Amino acid sequence: MPSPDLEFWFDLASNYSYLSVMRIEAAAQHADVSVQWRPFLIGPVFEALGWEGPPFVVQKEKGAYVWRDMLRQCRKYGIPWQQPTVFPRRAVLPTRIAVLGADEPWMPAWCRAIMTRNYGEDREVDTPDAVIEVLEQLGLPAQRIVEDALAEPNRQRLRDATREARERGIFGAPTFFVDNEMFWGNDRLEDALEAACARAPR
């Protein structure tokens, strides 16, 4: 019998997406749920909603809380954490690579490596040198992947994914879908997995 499905919409520049990217694969395997990784860009979604940027950048009090919260959450899950000196740190090229590799077995490892570099090491992720370094560490053909990621058909795939996120009603990252039921936020990952299991055919 096939495993139930969970759609995982995330942004590689999103700090709360970092928490889910780092733990969803193990959690889904434990629940016997199949994950569809759906990278997109949250920035254009914020713009469409009339927001000037992430709420905790616009509102400094919320921002101060979020960084403390991230420290607590990373300690809770045993995830590396170093508050980034640049936020939000641009991650368009890594996201294009994630879109390119959406159906490849290396895609989750790519996302974890990029997000650890950003949020665990406070290092640049959006330059060719940075992504080539990570790709080579994963044993992947770096130059070919970067060239394919920068090609217009793949750029369009990312634009299409971001448009679909807006059409689906996504307003933040990470977001999970079980069928058409939305669960927003890293703290709803377990609820989404439970819902996926509950809807699985018996």
How far apart (Å, rounded) are the C-alpha atoms in residues 18 and 10?
A: 9
Which residue in the block uniquely carries the two structure tokens 């434990």? 30
How far apart (Å, rounded) are the C-alpha atoms in residues 27 and 12?
A: 19
Residues marked active site are found at 14
Which residues are 39's β-sheet partners? 10
How far apart (Å, rounded) are the C-alpha atoms in residues 180 and 58?
A: 30
Q: How many Å from the N-terminal Cα to the C-terminal Cα in the chain? A: 9
Coil, helix or strand for 6? strand
DSSP 3-state helix, strand, coil percentages of the chain (rounded to 5)?
Answer: 60, 10, 30
How far apart (Å, rounded) are the C-alpha atoms in residues 198 and 130?
A: 41
CA angle 14, 107, 177 (to 5 degrees): 60
How far apart (Å, rounded) are the C-alpha atoms in residues 198 and 61?
A: 39
